[in-house]
Amino acid sequence: MASIGPQSPEPPPAAGATGAGPVWWRRPPVVAAAAAVLVVAGVATVLAVTGGGGRSKAAGSGSTTTVTTTAAAGEAGSGTGVTGAGPSGGGPSSGSASTGTAPGGGPGGGGPSATGAPPPPAPGPGAVAYASRAFGAPGIFVVSGDGTGAKLLTTAQGEYDTPVWSRDGTRIAFASRRLDNTDVYVVGADGKGEHRLTTDPGEDFDPSWSPDGKRIAFTGHRTSGTHIYVVDAAGGGERRLTDSTDEELGPAWAPDGSRIAYTRNTASGSAIWVVNPDGTGAHALENPPGQNISPVWSPDGTRLAFVSTRAGGTRAHIFVAAADGSGPREVSPDAGDDVSPSWSPDGRRLAYISQRNGDRDVYVVDADGRNDHAVAPNRSEEATPVWSPDDVHVAFVSDRDGIRHIYVVAADGSGLRRLSPTPGPDFDPRYRPTG
C-alpha cells in the first residue's frame, strides 16, 4: 500500500483572484457515472450528475509528493487516460492505459506486499475514499478525515472511477478500466480481497450497494444496449433488471433495499424510473417533458432529489419529490445549471454544484429551498460534493490549485483545506459510512 503525508489547509483566495483552472476542466465534463446529454434548442449541454466530472489527460500537477507502493514489484506501464466519450449518457472514459505485469498477478491482480508488512487496519469514521490518476500509482485511495494516512488500496495499472462504500464500511466497490474493458470490482477497506465482479466485454460502471451489502447494482453498456444489472457482491448471480429498448443508467438503491431508482433516456427526454431488485415492477416516477435525471434517495428513503429542466428553458435545477414522485419542488431556482445533488445524513440539506456565476461552485441549500449559499466560491471548477457522516463538512473535487484534488470545507464555508495528498488528478470522493 502507499502512504502519503497530509497537506496544509489552503489559504483563502486573494481579493480579485481570477485563476480559472486548466483548460481541460473548463470543457463540459464527461462523467463515468450517471450523466445526461441535454439537447435543447439544438445546443448540447453535458451535465455532470455523479462521478468526478471529466476524465482528462493531465500534464502533471507540479507537486513534489512521491507515491511509493508496497505492491508486488515489477515495472508497470504508465497509461495516459485520454478522455473518451463512453456510451451515450456518460459512460467511462474510452481511453486506454498501457499495462504492465508484476510478479504475483497480471493486470487486474496484484502480488503480495513486497515488504511483507501487514496492511494497516481498516479506516475509521470520517475516512474518505477517492479515485486517483496519480502518475505511476493510479487507483482507489482512502485518506483519514484530517488528510493523514492516505493509502492506495489497489495494485493494478488502469483507470479507476466511483468508489462506493458498503454500508458497514468494510468494502469498497468501484469501476476500473483494464485491458480496454471497464468492469466492477470490490476491495476490502484494508486493501485485501480485491475481486472482479463483471466479465462482459462491454462497459460496466456506476456501482451501487444494496443496504444489506449482499448485492451491487450497476450500469452495463453491452451489445444489448445500456441497462441496469445486479450482481452478488461475492461474485456470481449477475442478472439484468431492466428490459426496455431505451438507455437506462445510474442505479441508486433505496435505503430500505426495496427499490432501485435510475434514469431512463428516450428520444424525447429523460425520466426517473424505479424497479424492484428482482426486476419486476419497473415504472416511471418522474416523466414530464424535458430531462429528469440523477435520482438520489434521502437517508430515510421518503424523498428523492434529482436534476430537471422542467422549469423551462435550457437550465437544469435541483428538485425534491416524495419517494413516489409526487409533489416535486424546485429547491435551486437560480439562473445557472445546477447538478450533482447530495443529501446531508440528517436529510435536512442538500449540497450541489451550480454554474450560476460562470464557474462550477459548491452550494448548500435546505431541502425546502431556503438558506441557499455558496460554501467554497472560487474562480475554478468544482464537482461531486458529498457530506461527512456528522453533517458538518462537504468534500468535493476542485482544480483551484491547477489540477483536480479532493478538498473539504464546513457547510458554513469555513475551514477550507485540501484533503487528498496525491499528485492528482483526484476525483469521486466518498465518506465512509458510520455503519
Question: How many residues in the chain?
Answer: 435
DSSP state of 367: T
Q: What is the pLDDT of residue 49?
A: 34
Q: What is the pLDDT of residue 336?
A: 84
Exposure of 388 by Cβ count < 10 A (0-12 exposed, 13-18 middle, 19+ buried)?
buried
Low-confidence ranges of the chain (pLDDT < 50): 1-117, 119
Residues contacting 42, CB < 8 A, separation 6+: none
Q: What is the pLDDT of residue 335?
A: 80
Residues contacting 237, CB < 8 A, separation 6+: 215, 230, 231
Position 38: which residue type?
Answer: L
The model's pLDDT over 186-222, given as tens digits with 9 standing for 90+, comes to 999 999 999 999 999 999 999 999 999 999 999 999 9
Q: Are strands 382-387 and 393-398 parallel, antiparallel or unpaired?
A: antiparallel
The model's pLDDT over 322-358, given as tens digits with 9 standing for 90+, comes to 999 999 999 997 888 999 999 999 999 999 999 988 8
Of the candidates 65, 62, 63, 61, which has an alpha carbon nearest to the alpha carbon of residue 5?
65
Cα dihedral 310→311→312→315 (10° resolution): -90
Q: What is the pLDDT of residue 435?
A: 65
Q: What is the pLDDT of residue 121?
A: 55
Would the pTM of this model clear 0.85, i.e. be above it? no
C-alpha cell at 41: 434548442
- What are the structural domain ranges in the chain? 3-431
C-alpha cell at 5: 503525508
Q: How many CA atoms lie within 13 A of 111 on its CB side?
A: 17
Neighbours of 249 (CB within 10 A): 30
β-bridge mates for residue 45, sequence order: 38
| CATH code given to domain 3-431 | 2.120.10.30
Of the candidates 84, 100, 108, which has an alpha carbon nearest to the alpha carbon of residue 31?
84
Q: What is the pLDDT of residue 219?
A: 98
Q: What is the pLDDT of residue 124?
A: 65
Q: What is the pLDDT of residue 333?
A: 78
